[in-house]
Amino acid sequence: MKFTLSWLRDHLDTHATVDEICAKLNTIGLEVEGVDDPGARLAAFRTARIVEAVQHPNADRLRVCRVDAGPGFEEVQVVCGAPNARTGLSVIFAPPGTWIPGSDITIKAGSIRGEASGGMLCSLRELGLGEEHDGIAELPEGTETGLSYADFAGLNDPVIEIAVTPNRGDALAVRGIARDLAAAGLGHLRPWLAETVEGTFDSPVTWANDFPEACPWVLGRTVRGVRNGPSPDWLQKRLRAIGLRPISALVDITNFFAFDLGRPLHVFDADRLTGGRLTICRGAGESFRALDGRDVVVSPEDCVIADAAGVQSLAGIMGGEATGATDETTSVFVECALFDPVRIALSGRRLGLHSDARHRFERGVDQALPVAALEAATRMIIELCGGEASEVVSAGDAPAWQREAHLRFARVAGLGGLDVPADEAVASLEALGFEVRERDEARVVVDVPSWRNDIAMKMVLDQAPDLSAERAFAAAEGAAAVDSECDLIEEILRLRGLDSIAPVSLPALSAVPLPALTPRQTRTATARRVLAARGLLETVAYSFAAQEACARFGAVPESLRLLNPIAADLDQMRPTPLVNLLAAVERNTARGYPDLGLFEVGPGFSESGQSQIAAALRSGHAPRFPGRTAEPVDLWDAKADALAVLAALGAPVEGVSVTADAPGHYHPGRSGVLRQGPKIVLGVFGQLHPALLAGRGLDRPVVGFELFLDAIAEPKRRRRVAPELSAFQPVHRDFAFVVGRDVAAETVLRAARGAERTLIAGVRLFDVYEGDKVPEGSKSLGVEVTLQPVKASLTDAEIEAVCGAVVAAVQKACGATLRGEG
């Protein structure tokens, strides 16, 4: 929000300096973002007159000028290249040492082509005023010399820019800012009253409102016989100062009130309207050209203003080019309305349109101001453009904006941390426009002013007249919480100055700092570290992808479709990170990098909710080493990666079983599901289904896994102790068990591991044989069992006893026999 100092003083009676005003604005929460003071920037420039201009003796395009720069300067010689430099011309003079904003140079006295030059004659562009000129600026004839150019041109009016938070729509008006400063003690708010303009005829344009949910109340009136043209100099200067381009008197008046009172208005060329009626209604897919030249297609969710010919304005956001005011306009219809802030914001975002009107409507405008604002705008139109006004026409009703707020005085210190006397607290609220309805020693009830839409509404307890005041207040507390009370406390404290609140440290919750990371964050970081250590590269992708790609990895319910995707091919929440990983493998393969391993730890989505998944893919071949050929990746690589992550996360890997019911995007005979018990699924691993890879340029195997991190139980917290290392050598024994081909190796390993819990430290599968050396329909599994004595070295008898127990356990569990027996 930008405004000039003189504009602020139209509403605020104060002698405060710019620095004092800025300091107070920062204190009361309207943070100053910058101050632009053209007067200070242009202080060195002064008015002057060319006494004589003659041709430069050594340059065809230069002239030597004798310049009268006024008191304090002797007559100065300046070499000038402007074609309009001539004797008697009043000009802008920059003495040596002056910084030129438009050229970013500092003037020095010197010599040009042998002639002394003691300054510079300037154009407006060189002063940074944004206007092009073929030569130097020409001031009116007879201009007094030696004046400050900033004073002469009325540029000594600082421009202040403040940051306005979304809840403070009232601060998007110069009057609202003046009200806050007056309440903070920096002057007095000047009275403002709009004089009524009596209508002399019935308006030929009337209203109809078919969309009251979006526009509860709309006013308007016709002003005929106007003469549109450039607005007066004072109005143009104000608009230019805040960055607006003057267009015409009628348009400039609406822009003025948008900033002066925070009240957006719009003027239609009444002669270009069709049918004599404007209708507030929903859009229906029509297209109209807005004032910024864009063609806008409106939908039923957009509120529009239409006449018999079609849409003429996107209500509350931007008018249409077809009915905009022009230099030929002689009759206008002035619109002043209230619009629903949420609908304005949604329409603006959906259509990508932003305007000063939208900026104010979506933050809330003064709901009691439309009548007075329409009268004020009508009077200014008649004063600047002439004409006569019609009677006011309207549709809808003024909203019931009246509401009350409650404050317990003790809560100012208890919640705000600053002890403010009750009388001062009430006086602060009254200065901001709140009116006291009821007050006692402990609390006050105030009526909220119409311009403070940010003050939360309290329940009015007319429905409970039998309650005592204390019980009624408690009922209101329970019904509407304490939102409005907190808002009032904030108002009182900011007028006192937020920097006057003594800082208080938060109480320490524990002598030992709490963990900085949650268990979920910790296990996510652990999974990343383990997978990176195993040679995989981490990727980070969007949590959404193309619906077609997601459908290859699971269901794509309509509830997980994106209504407003950032791209047409990113319209579905992904079921698993494998969607993005496979796309990355495909892109790398197409560019000559088929052998790679990638992983991502991120979310997957289903109708039951979101889950955290650690997923990885390996493709092509494993790395080559001297004396060893490169082997294609297989499902065992994926299983090893998955088990390594499970082990690092503290999952009981030895108790994990594998079943052959992997999802459809895995190869049905080369995949498995990792389970903890019959119900808990920890993950899936295996080779991707060939049909998934067909037509994607992937002619090498691709294997991977998915681990569902949320399904992995957090390990019990135990005190870490040093491991007990045995002083005795381990003993290794190999077994070759012949089992049926349908017997899982895991069943054999689990049976062997459970044969003797005390001495067996590890069981490992090292060979699988299926050939003519074993009976048909059978296979041989080579199993290594490690025995670790703890108290003493094992005797042969003890070793044989354990081996016998292993064989017996495997035979019982799987019907296995030792190879070479039977």
Q: Are residues 158 and 36 in contact, defined by beta-carbon separation less than 8 angstroms?
A: yes
Q: CA distances (Å), 473 to each of 430, 460, 486, 492, in order?
A: 21, 10, 15, 21
Say which residues have a Cβ less than 8 Å from residue 479's Cβ, sequence separation at least 6: 459
Spatial separation of the C-alpha atoms in residues 593 and 580, rounded to whole Å:
17
Spatial separation of the C-alpha atoms in residues 218 and 208, rounded to whole Å:
9
Phi/psi class of residue 113: alpha, beta or left (left: φ > 0; alpha: ψ in -120 to 50)?
A: left
- Closest residue by Cα to residue 806 from 766, 750, 743: 750
Classified as helix, coil or strand, 224 is strand
Four-CA torsion 487, 488, 490, 496, nearest 10 degrees: 170
Spatial separation of the C-alpha atoms in residues 158 and 76, rounded to whole Å:
31
Residue ranges for the known binding site for Mg(2+) are 454, 487, 490-491
Residue type for 654, please? E
Q: How many CB atoms lie within 10 A of CB 90?
A: 18
Say which residues have a Cβ less than 8 Å from residue 444's Cβ, sequence separation at least 6: 406, 407, 409, 422, 425, 426, 429, 436, 438
- Closest residue by Cα to residue 2 from 155, 142, 157, 188: 157
What do you get for the CA distance between the two ends of the chain, in Å? 95
| Dihedrals phi, psi of 432, to nearest 5 degrees | -85, 0
Q: Are residues 339 and 316 in contact, defined by beta-carbon separation less than 8 angstroms?
A: yes
Written as six digits, the tokens of 774 are: 């074993």
Residue ranges for the known binding site are 454, 487, 490-491
Radius of gyration for the alpha carbons in the chain, expressed in angstroms and rounded: 41
- Closest residue by Cα to residue 406 from 482, 467, 333, 330: 482
Say which residues have a Cβ less than 8 Å from residue 199's Cβ, sequence separation at least 6: 221, 389, 390, 391, 392
Sheet holding 310-314, edge to edge: 206-209, 277-282, 303-307, 310-314, 318-319
